[in-house]
Structure 1
């Protein structure tokens, strides 16, 4: 078994704290206690608390992107693939609400901005969905349009539904909401078909 580096231990401890209590729960003192080091030792690996939180957020984006890429690879049909990409986003939001909020819902100075950052390919999650949309348009399966704007519309639909569900705006239980979510995304994709 490979031993974790101090930086990896710090990230694991910070991740656990984040999962339980959100960004406010991640203090250098709490992380240090969990790792068994002094708070000042953390600064050798992460210059600020914000840098540590940014790393957690970036790791979250990369984990979601990896899951999306795995699902994308398993579906040769572009329409099925677009539907399959909606599932891990919902799964992540419900399983990791604090990380999801920090990564996708909380205003942050370092957050990517549409359209510049997304058109520059800086969003690992967006890029996976964008590739499917571009492929769908190239194959004539989806209507010709700006693929970035179409991908953002798909993401906004997913995110909006999740935000409303998590805010208690649906009377559905989780299974009912999942079915509604899937139907809603399906309706949107149907409207994009060529």
Structure 2
């Protein structure tokens, strides 16, 4: 590959990431309704046709933001899980990290889990970033637990419910730790 072609590909990748970052920032400050191709074009100082050369529209941008979010979430969960912990400790650390991630990055969390995208969960086409997140939950359960993937799925589902209800103010924040402890105790005390 020629040096010129490599430079063009590098510049294209940088533009692509710049658009994703700008969409995220705009969503975090003004909400997803504010994220339009016109606003993004202004923000990144490229024309709308340049944006469309990277993304077919807002749905594709949301998908790209979501995939970036899953990359971040997987790394966040991985860092949270202590080395060689007891399953209950590992699960608590990963669950706490998940809830913190959702609370600290509400617009990103919306792109990942609330807004419509074509990102498939529990499917042959599930992106590797999403599988990496799921595997962090699976790794919190003992390897001899034949249903550890089911336990991980139920854990993630419960955490999503807690995160969503907390973000909307429908459940009180002062009992968050009690909810988390209850969930973890139920899952770690359940026979495999």
**Aligned equivalent of 1:123:** 131
**Aligned equivalent of 1:169:** 170
Question: Per the alignment, in what secondary structure is the counterpart of residue 96 of structure 2?
Answer: helix
Structure 1 position 122, deviation (Å)? 5.4
C-alpha deviations, 1:34-54, integer Å up to 9, x for none?
111211111222233322211
Give the TM-score taking structure 1 as reference length: 0.79
Is the contact between residue 65 and residue 111 of structure 2 (CA under 8 Å) also seen in structure 1? no
Alpha-carbon spacing, 1:16–1:122, altered in 2? closer, same or farther (3 Å): closer
**Aligned equivalent of 2:153:** 152
Structure 1 position 70, deviation (Å)? 1.6
- 2-side partners of 1:57 and 1:18: how far apart? 12
Alpha-carbon spacing, 1:71–1:188, altered in 2? closer, same or farther (3 Å): same
1:181 pairs with one of 173, 179, 182: 179
**Correspondence 1:31-180 to 2 at 5 A:** 31-72=40-81, 74-77=82-85, 78-108=87-117, 110-114=118-122, 123-133=131-141, 136-138=142-144, 144-172=145-173, 176-180=174-178
Give the TM-score taking structure 2 as reference length: 0.79
Is the contact between residue 82 and residue 132 of structure 1 (CA under 8 Å) also seen in structure 2? yes
Runs of 5+ consecutive residues of structure 2 not aligned to the other structure: 1-10
Structure 1 position 152, deviation (Å)? 0.7
Runs of 5+ consecutive residues of structure 1 not aligned to the other structure: 139-143
Structure 1 position 91, deviation (Å)? 1.0
Runs of 4+ in 1 over 4 A off after TM superposition: 115-118
Structure 1 position 149, deviation (Å)? 1.1
Query: How many equivalent residue pairs?
Result: 179
